[in-house]
Structures are given as C-alpha cells and as structure tokens.
Structure 1
C-alpha cells in the first residue's frame, strides 16, 4: 500500500522559487518543508550523494545573497542557522528525487517540476509578447506611443512592497 503525499498548491511551490545568480532555484529549507523532512536530513542525504550535485545543480548562497533574499521576502525563516542555505537549480531538485525516495518526496518532486515548467512557459510567453510589441511599435511609430508605453508598464512586474521592520513610534 502506497501513501499519497498531500498535494502542494502550485502557488505555494512557485513562491519558493527564487532568482539567485541568474538561476531559478529553491532553498534547502523550503524543499525540506515541502518534502516533510528536517533541513539537516535533506542536507545529509545530499552530502552522502554529493557526486550527484555539481555546482550547476546546487550551490551554497553567499552572505550578501542571503541578506538580499531576506530583504525581498521581508521575514526570515533562517534564524539560528549556522551555515548559509543551499540553493538547488531545477536539475538539482530533479536529482533530489533519486536521493529522497519516499512516496511524498516523489509526489512533491513531480509538482515542483510542473511549477518550473509553468514558470518557463510564462517567461517564454512574456518574451514573445515583448517581441510582438516591439514589432508593432516599429510599424506604428508615434501614433500609438502612449498605448505602447502603458502596455509596457503593465508587463513590468511590480516592485516588492517593503514595510518597515519593528515598532515605529508616531511623530
């Protein structure tokens, strides 16, 4: 009898995918939560199979990258860690399925792969839309300049909202 892992909403998985060093990656602590294991257990399994994880599959993020990531997310889930988190690329996450062999790990891995594919598709569609918009701009010049500028603004992802951290006293 196999036990089925609880399904992870695609949005939950996509929120765990970050851009670091120009790569879409997932951090070890997010993966551990999704797989239902402790971070140390996940990292021990990786270290026992380190030959499966070359630098383009997994890397340890720097202190600067960690601080930048913390400021983007606003809250920190890394309190108390003694080392920098590991970041896994799409290939590294796929390789984890061979290292973590539980039914839950396999089911979660399938959902993560779907999330990466969906993000790749969205990025490709956005590039195609930008290419088509540029072609239309060249064709219609100044007639629709304001319309094209408005469309470009709509295509630009919103800046993350940053709230001050801590207690703020009224002035």
Structure 2
C-alpha cells in the first residue's frame, strides 16, 4: 500500500517521534517535491530529522497543470499531495487541513490525518495510548481541534487525565 502525505502530519509525527508509524501502517510513503521543500526549510521543527526520513520518498507530480490549478485554491504541498495520490493510485492521502481534505474527498481519495493515523496505530497495537502524543503535539504548537481530540480519544477508548 502507498500513502501520500502533506507536510503538517509529517511535522506533527516527527515532533512526537512517531514517523515510523506511517510505513508500519501503510508500507510505503511518498511525498511530492513541494512537501519536501516545506518540511526541510532550515530552522523549521524537525527539519533535519524529516530530511533524513524522507530521503528517496519524493516523487515529482506529472500533471503540473492540475497541481497548479488546485494549488490556487489550497496550499501547494496539499495540492501536490492530492495529485500525486491520484497519479500513484495511493491507498490514502494524509492531510490535516480541512479545506484540502474536502478537495481530496471530492476526488474520491481516502483521507486520513495525523490524529487518524494515531488511532489506527493504537487499534493495531503499535502505540499504547494516543493522549500523551496529542498532548505533546499541542504543547509543541501543533493546533488540533478540541472536537477532533475529543472524538479521537473516544474512538481510542481513552480519557484525558484530570487536572
């Protein structure tokens, strides 16, 4: 199976040391060139780790016109991820941005995100709990919808610790 990812899930998973989950769950990760450029900018969180992890996982988008047109509506990395997922018949595309997820679904692509991947990992026994990972992401500046976190914890059978 192949999964194509946008930059934000890669950064979030890198921050919590869980990049390995992508290939454990999907087998093969591919990213478009725009995503590599976004995540390896010097000074960005985890840029060195991501550069090493993403070596040999980059693939150019063939349909530049479609990517550029879609990129005018959503981010360049998200647009290229959607087009690359279509071109490679990927099993899923991993995107966190709500608007980009809608565009992917309109093209009938299975969509997951950072939190969805963590839920899958827990259901397969690859992580014990997702709450500590979500908490670390939030403490590191990753913005997650409280509603999404609540739903995710419910699906994972977890409750946040009470203060």
Q: TM-score, normalised by structure 1?
A: 0.23
Provide TM-score, normalisation by structure 2. Answer: 0.24
Q: Which is richer in helix?
A: 1
Q: Greater Rg, structure 1 or structure 2?
A: 1
Kindly indicate whether structure 1 or structure 2 has the higher relative contact order, using CA contacts under 8 Å at least 6 residues apart.
1
